[in-house]
Amino acid sequence: MNMLDFITKLLAATLAMGTSLAYATLGEVYTQKTGILNLGMEGIMLMGALAGFTTAFNTGNLYLALMMAMLVGGFFSLIHAFLCITMRANQVPAGLAITMFGTGLANFLGERLGPASNGYNLTGMNIPDKFSNIAIPFLSDIPILGALFDVSLLTYALYLLIPFAWFFMYKTKHGMVVRAVGENPRTAASMGISVSKIRYIYTVIGGMLAGLGGACLSLSFTPSWNEGMTGGKGWIVIALVIFSTWNPARVVIGTLVFGGITSLQFSLQAAGLKMVIPSQFLGFSPYLITLVALATMTIINQKKKGSFASPSALGTSFAIDDK
Amino acid sequence: MKFRLEKRDSRSTRMAVLVPVASLLVSFILGAIVLLISDANPFQAYAAMIKGAFGSQTKLQYTLVKSIPLLLCGLAVGIAFRLKFWNIGAEGQYVGGVIGITWVMQFWTFLPSALLLPVGMLVGILFGAIWGGIPGVLKAQWSVDETLTTLMMNYIIIGFAEYLYFDAWKAPRGNMGTVLYPKEAWLPRIWGRVHGGIFIALILVGILWFVLYKTRWGFELNMIGKNKRAAECQGVSIKKNIILAMLLSGAIAGLAGVIDAAAVTHQLTKGVDAGYGFTGIIIAWMSGLNPFISIIVSVIMAALETGSDALQMTMKLPNAMGAVLQGLILIPLLAGNIFIEYRLLVIKNRKEVTA
């Protein structure tokens, strides 16, 4: 295999892997921009993966499957919003609760919603249809960059969604409202903005996107259901939000880098590097790299006096009558 | 009619008891709905779970054995939570403990066998402390987000443990797991399957209660958690305390792993990441970070796990039901916590009042 082929294949794998991450990260960026930290992503993504897969398995309709995944994701993040906004619960344990409940429930239902012939288990079942890659003639033949034009509909949709998300946040009046709520809820409230309403809306939208991200895994990346199939991607998403410095446009960079490292790790394993480096080391390398990158970035950020700072009100509850 | 929340003058003790108990009930009701959806009779299922957790002496022993590492993980996490340091890495610190004791048991053969267990335990505790200390230092020195660092470190050490039991430390026979520890270095059993670790855990509960509630250091940790700025004004070093608390938290999670390895598994093998560290988060939160109450809560959590294993055997229901119920407890608990500090006022519509 020549180098050009290898890079093209790597980019293709990166895009496939990164798609799911990009949806969920975009969702979390919007949620955090309003000041709500949702650590429930891992659970929400897994529930989304399950909802999408079950729907596709039973109806064969992929679009219905995506809608169900978004609905379920929205519902779980609504619980989070209720806890954090209405009940003023601490956002960290609330998110952990969503993750624990979501992963538990998804793993439980995954063993109950399957056909009786398979012991009610969904694992090992196939869906009649999946989101496969659609190659655009000519464009997909370009070396390396051609990989960008041989992806699934879910990835093509991102090419539109990411610029839109950036434009919406930085160039529209409504985007300014979102940022104001996360930066200074008190001022936003004094301008007549309903802080709670905005936070509810974007927490739910964030959850819907995370559900969609989960469904990308079970309907396209590895079209199947497996217990705990998100394997920590929901946590990587939280790190990617920090790497993107809460800017929807920069979500692309983070997901490409992380997707790239993970795919590279797989292809190195396949290429027999595990003779030199144990496969388990390659397996945890993405998490190690995330850890190192997170620490490095935080330290640099401090030296630069917070040029990539998080939304000021992130993680704090807000009530008008608070003193 | 309108609702308003009014801050109470002091925390309501009645609510502090009522809310967790009610949460447990709510989670069982919601769990019943999950069971109904999945075509199972909730009454039968819960009866099977209770029977599976407490139905016989052996079953009770299994539940107690499970509650020991859970209690320790709950204590470990609780210390960090006291100063609002979100340690979700107890799972990894636990695995660190198991790696530490296994290392001693396997390779420190120059030690007299009577010393293997105590030295192994110390090394395991040290590994746990180091694994907890790293995120502590990162947070204290450079305020690197601890939820992510502790979590990423879980994946790293679990992967490393996998390498050890599948590859580097694999016993010559079999396809995974290390050689069993020498029999004379096992932690002895005291009642059926229940082992001496239960005493260590209970003594630790007493010590921690004293340290957290009766010493200056415990007071400082509490103050940092409640109001960082006020603590700083009082001259409390936040950096030093974060690192100390995380070393202790990691050490206790490591101890949980060490005890379970020395008394139950006697080796490092698949399943070392059993999720005790995550369940510890629920235990800490539900007990209101109180070590004594953690004892009861950890037995309940252990019962949910052994009960759901029984559920799988008797009713062919997935044993993930335990995790569903555990996760479900936190949601009403977090929602209800507000009533401990706030009072709900019902304001009648003015027109109605004047009418």
Average pLDDT over residues A61-88: 96
| A positions 156-215 inside 8 Å of B (CB) | none
Does the pTM surpass 0.80? The reply is: yes
Mark yes or no for CB contact A83/B88 under 8 Å: no
Name the phi and psi angles at B342, rounded to 5.
-120, 160
Q: Alpha-carbon distance A126 to A37, whole Å?
A: 35
The fraction of chain B above a pLDDT of 70, given in percent, is: 97
The answer to whether B129 touches B247, Cβ cutoff 8 Å, is yes
Q: Which residues contact A97 (CB under 8 A, 6 or more apart)?
A: A40, A83, B327, B330, B331, B334
What's the whole-number average pLDDT of chain B? 91
Token pair recorded at residue A46: 């897994």
**Residue of chain A whose Cα is closest to the Cα of B341:** A88
Mark yes or no for CB contact B337/A87 under 8 Å: yes
Determine the residue type at B199. F
Q: Is any Cβ of chain B less than 8 angstroms from the Cβ of A239?
A: yes
Mark yes or no for CB contact B318/A295 under 8 Å: no
Mark yes or no for CB contact B149/A295 under 8 Å: yes
Q: At what angle do helices A233-243 and A251-270 cross, to 10 degrees?
A: 130
Mark yes or no for CB contact A93/B285 under 8 Å: yes
Q: Which residues contact B52 (CB under 8 A, 6 or more apart)?
A: B59, B306, B307, B308, B309, B310, B311, B313, B314
Q: Which residues contact B129 (CB under 8 A, 6 or more apart)?
A: B93, B247, B248, B250, B251, B254
Architecture, CATH, for domain A3-131+145-303: Orthogonal Bundle (1.10)
Residues of chain B with C-beta less than 8 angstroms from the C-beta of A265: none
pLDDT digits (tens, 9 = 90+) for A219-248: 998 899 999 999 889 999 999 998 898 999
Closest approach of chain B CAs to the CA of A237, in angstroms?
10
Mark yes or no for CB contact A111/B152 under 8 Å: no
What pLDDT does residue B351 have?
52
pLDDT digits (tens, 9 = 90+) for B260-287: 999 999 999 998 998 999 999 999 999 9
What pLDDT does residue A28 have?
97
Average pLDDT over residues B287-300: 94
pLDDT digits (tens, 9 = 90+) for A108-118: 999 999 898 88
Per-residue pLDDT for A319 more than 90?
Answer: no
What's the whole-number average pLDDT of chain A? 90
**Residue of chain B whose Cα is closest to the Cα of A232:** B155
Per-residue pLDDT for A320 more than 70?
Answer: no
Q: Is any Cβ of chain B less than 8 angstroms from the Cβ of A292?
A: no
Q: Alpha-carbon distance B50 to B168, whole Å?
A: 41
Residues of chain A with C-beta less than 8 angstroms from the C-beta of B312: none
Mark yes or no for CB contact A294/B152 under 8 Å: yes
Q: Is any Cβ of chain B less than 8 angstroms from the Cβ of A105?
A: yes
Residue with tokens 């995506």: A66
Instruction: Calculate the alpha carbon distances from A65 to A22, A129, A218, A289 in Å.
Output: 19, 11, 10, 34
What pLDDT does residue A274 have?
62
From start to end of chain B, where are the E strands? 2-7, 189-191, 194-195, 342-347
pLDDT digits (tens, 9 = 90+) for A138-181: 888 888 888 889 899 999 999 999 999 999 999 999 999 999 99
What pLDDT does residue B39 have?
84
Closest approach of chain B CAs to the CA of A200, in angstroms?
16
The confidence band for A268, taking pLDDT boundaries of 50, 70 and 90, is confident
Average pLDDT over residues B316-340: 90
Using alpha carbons, select from B211, B240, B246, B247 the residue that is nearest to residue B126: B247
The answer to whether A79 touches A47, Cβ cutoff 8 Å, is no
Q: Is any Cβ of chain A less than 8 angstroms from the Cβ of B115?
A: no
pLDDT digits (tens, 9 = 90+) for A175-209: 999 999 999 999 999 999 999 999 999 999 999 99
Closest approach of chain A CAs to the CA of B192, in angstroms?
31
Q: At what angle do helices A279-303 and A251-270 cross, to 10 degrees?
A: 160
Q: Alpha-carbon distance B315 to B321, whole Å?
A: 12
Helices (H), B143-264: 146-163, 197-214, 216-226, 228-233, 238-260
Q: SS in 3 state form for B227-244?
A: CHHHHHHCCCCHHHHHHH
What pLDDT does residue A321 have?
57
Using alpha carbons, select from B308, B303, B334 the residue that is nearest to residue B71: B303
SS3 A244: coil
Confidence check on the interface: ipTM exceeds 0.85, yes or no? yes
Q: Alpha-carbon distance B274 to B256, whole Å?
A: 12
Q: Is any Cβ of chain A less than 8 angstroms from the Cβ of B301?
A: no
Task: Quote the DSSP letter at residue B265.
Answer: I
**Residue of chain A whose Cα is closest to the Cα of B324:** A104
pLDDT digits (tens, 9 = 90+) for B187-205: 999 999 999 999 999 999 9
Size of interface A-B (CB pairs under 8 A): 143
Q: Is any Cβ of chain B less than 8 angstroms from the Cβ of A320?
A: no
Mark yes or no for CB contact B149/A294 under 8 Å: yes
Mark yes or no for CB contact A97/B167 under 8 Å: no
Q: Is any Cβ of chain B less than 8 angstroms from the Cβ of A108?
A: yes
Q: Is any Cβ of chain A less than 8 angstroms from the Cβ of B148?
A: yes
Chain centre to alpha carbon of residue B88: 10
Residue B31: its H or E element: helix B13-37
Residue with tokens 């993504």: A45
Higher pLDDT, A35 or A119: A35
Closest approach of chain B CAs to the CA of A9, in angstroms?
27
Higher pLDDT, B3 or A185: A185
Average pLDDT over residues B69-93: 95
Q: Alpha-carbon distance B224 to B85, whole Å?
A: 10
Average pLDDT over residues B98-123: 94
Point out the residue among B158, B324, B331 whose CB comes nearest to the CB of A79: B331
What pLDDT does residue B353 have?
45
SS3 B4: strand
Domain-wise residue ranges, chain B = 63-281
Mark yes or no for CB contact B88/A96 under 8 Å: yes
Using alpha carbons, select from A114, A105, A13 the residue that is nearest to residue A58: A114
What pLDDT does residue B235 have?
87
SS3 B269: coil
SS3 B5: strand
CA angle B268, B274, B277 (to 5 degrees): 110
Closest approach of chain A CAs to the CA of B274, in angstroms?
14
Determine the residue type at B277. G
**Residue of chain A whose Cα is closest to the Cα of B4:** A321
Helices (H), chain A: 3-33, 41-59, 62-81, 91-110, 153-171, 173-183, 185-190, 195-216, 233-243, 251-270, 279-303
Mark yes or no for CB contact B324/A112 under 8 Å: no
